[in-house]
Homo-oligomer: A and B are copies of this chain.
Amino acid sequence: MASEPLYTATVPPDWVDYNGHLRDAYYGLICSHATDALMDQIGLDAAGRARTHSSLFTLESHIHYLHAVKLGAEVQVHCQLLGLDAKRLHMVLSLVLPGRAGSVAITVAVCEQMLLHVDVRGPRSAAFAPEVQAPLQALAAAHRLQAVPVQVGRVMGLPRTVL
């Protein structure tokens, strides 16, 4: 979390629900834009996508909501790669309200995601190009000794007996 944020969003009025809080789906939109920022970093920006006919599709997204977020708040997104294979990327995004003078940073949500590299001409899954695989490998190496948020890998559920 000491690293620079991947992406920063400021909560606009139309993302706030009847409780006066950031609506659940817009935490997801912040994550979606953060993933766009990651794609820019690894050469899958608009030019790279056009040149290679490729993109990333989201296979799964699991958000854990930890704190409410208010209108106008600045939300920073930090990215940690958890796994990588020829076609897939497993990562966790932490949404953080940065600490100001006298206050500590607060993690407001944790979002685990699985992304698939796709040749959009099919569309069909496709291996990352070497020039994309290289920065992903570098990120994975940089992140591999970081602590993993406790929410990663959790299964949600209630005892079935209460039904």
Contact = CB atoms under 8 A, between A and B. Distances in A.
Main secondary structure of the interface of A (DSSP, over half): mixed
A68 B59 CA distance: 11
Given A60-B64, A63-B61, A83 B157 contact: yes
This protein's copies in its complex: 2
B65 A60 contact: yes
Interface in A27-82: 28-29, 31-32, 46, 49, 55, 57-65, 68, 81-82
A87 to B, nearest CB: 10
Contact of A158 (B23, B55, B84, B159): B84
A90 B157 contact: yes
A141 interface: yes
A126 B147 CA distance: 33
